[in-house]
């Protein structure tokens, strides 16, 4: 069983028991997070797709940790003009483990 979830402007294919790095979410470590923007749920051979979201589905997950990803370097350069700008960025993330995918038929 898996669900397609939209969070942080991205879509993730989530299964029970799996660990995911998502865009930073509010919540303390150990707290429960509920995702209700479910695009699709597949169980066995049956797939239900929302338009755009499913009303009768949700994914429950537990927050494992918060952190920052590896640094990326943003470098701007214009030739022959002595223009150079170097900037670093580390994107914050939240690591969650999916505990349960709830889906009720209409």
Per-residue confidence in pLDDT tens, the chain, 106 aa = 999 999 999 999 999 999 999 999 999 999 999 999 999 999 888 999 999 999 999 999 999 999 999 999 999 999 999 999 999 999 999 999 999 999 876 4
Residue 32 resides in a domain: yes
* Any domain includes 63: yes
For residue 44, is it within any domain?
yes
**Residue 7, domain member (yes or no):** yes
Domain that holds residue 34: 2-67+94-103
CA separation (Å) from 102 to 21, 85, 89?
Answer: 21, 48, 36
Total domains present in the chain: 1
* Global pTM value: 0.82
Whether 57 is covered by a domain: the verdict is yes
- Asked if residues 47 and 4 have their Cβ atoms less than 8 Å apart, the reply is no
Let me know if residue 35 belongs to a domain.
yes
Tell me the C-alpha distance between 28 and 49, whole Å.
31
């Amino acid at each position: 069983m898996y669900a397609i979830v939209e969070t942080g402007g991205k879509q993730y294919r989530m299964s029970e028991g799996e660990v995911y790095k998502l865009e930073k979410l509010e919540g303390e470590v150990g707290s429960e997070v509920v995702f209700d923007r479910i695009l699709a749920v597949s169980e066995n051979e049956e797939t239900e797709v929302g338009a755009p979201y499913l009303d009768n589905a949700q994914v429950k997950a537990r927050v494992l940790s918060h952190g920052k990803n590896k640094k990326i370097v943003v470098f701007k350069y214009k030739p022959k003009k002595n223009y150079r700008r170097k900037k670093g960025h580390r994107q914050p993330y939240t690591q969650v483990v999916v505990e349960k995918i709830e889906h009720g038929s209409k």
